[in-house]
């Protein structure tokens, strides 16, 4: 299958999340406040005291408490929802990653850069292959 792509202009935003912020809710709130139709995380560095992830092919999430470095955060999102993956390292440098869930709490900072795609909209529709709501990109 050939992927369908739609070209788009972009606007970049950079901001810092402060201690105690929920990482996922902050991203979704940012998109909702600006009524974004399509956005993507470019980069995020910082630290967390709680990490809530859903691992591959698992129905439930796992919460870990401690001190974690954000190694990577990627995702597509809009005012209507998002799909994010987070990778973190713990105090010993051990890595873990998965689907970002609510409850990832910023420890010292989260420095975030996102782009808004002005000419497309992101939607989610159930894909019959596995039953998950998957990304649908349309021109605006």
**Model-level pTM?**
0.93
Report mean pLDDT in 10-residue bins for the chain, 140 residues.
79 98 98 98 98 94 98 97 97 97 98 97 92 90
Q: What pLDDT score was predicted for residue 122?
A: 96
Q: Which contacts of 67-73 are long-range, i.e. CB under 8 A and separated by 24 or more positions?
A: 67/91, 67/107, 68/107, 70/44, 70/45, 70/46, 70/110, 71/95, 71/97, 72/44, 72/97, 73/23, 73/41, 73/43, 73/44, 73/100, 73/112
Q: What pLDDT score was predicted for residue 132?
A: 87
| Domain ranges within the chain, ordered by starting residue | 10-139
Q: What pLDDT score was predicted for residue 1?
A: 58
Q: What pLDDT score was predicted for residue 41?
A: 98
**65 phi, psi to nearest 5 deg:** -115, 145
- For the domain with range 10-139, which CATH number is right: 3.40.640.10, 3.40.50.720, 3.30.1330.80, 3.40.50.200? 3.30.1330.80
């Amino acid at each position: 299958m050939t992927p369908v792509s739609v070209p788009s202009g972009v606007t970049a935003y950079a901001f810092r999340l402060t201690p105690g912020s929920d990482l996922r809710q902050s991203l979704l709130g940012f998109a909702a406040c600006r009524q974004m139709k399509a956005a993507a995380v470019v980069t995020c560095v910082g630290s967390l005291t709680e990490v809530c992830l859903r691992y591959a092919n698992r129905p439930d999430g796992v919460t870990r408490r401690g001190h974690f470095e954000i190694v990577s955060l990627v995702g597509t999102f809009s005012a209507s929802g998002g799909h994010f993956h987070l990778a973190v390292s713990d105090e010993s440098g051990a890595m873990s990653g998965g689907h970002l869930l609510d409850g990832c709490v910023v420890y010292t900072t989260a420095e975030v850069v996102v782009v808004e795609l002005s000419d497309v909209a992101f939607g989610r529709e159930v894909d019959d292959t596995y039953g998950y709501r998957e990304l649908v990109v349309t021109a605006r």
